[in-house]
Amino acid sequence: MIVWKATVALALIAICASVESAAAQTPDPELDLCRSTGLAALRQLNPAIKDVSLDVEGMTVAKANTKIEDTPLKTVVIGDAYLEKGKQDTRRTFLCLIGEKGKVLLTFFTDK
> Would you list the domain boundaries of the chain?
28-109
* For residue 12, pLDDT beyond 60: no
Mean residue pLDDT of the chain comes to 78
* Residue 66 near residue 73, CB atoms below 8 Å: yes
> In this structure, which amino acid lies at residue 76?
V
Using a cut of 0.95, tell me whether the model's pTM lies above it: no
Q: Give the CA-trace dihedral at 52, 56, 59, 60, to 10 degrees.
A: 130
* Residue 86: other Cβ atoms inside 10 A: 8
Return the SS3 of 69.
coil
* For residue 71, pLDDT beyond 90: yes
Measured CA distances, 15 to 18, 19, 109 (Å): 5, 6, 37
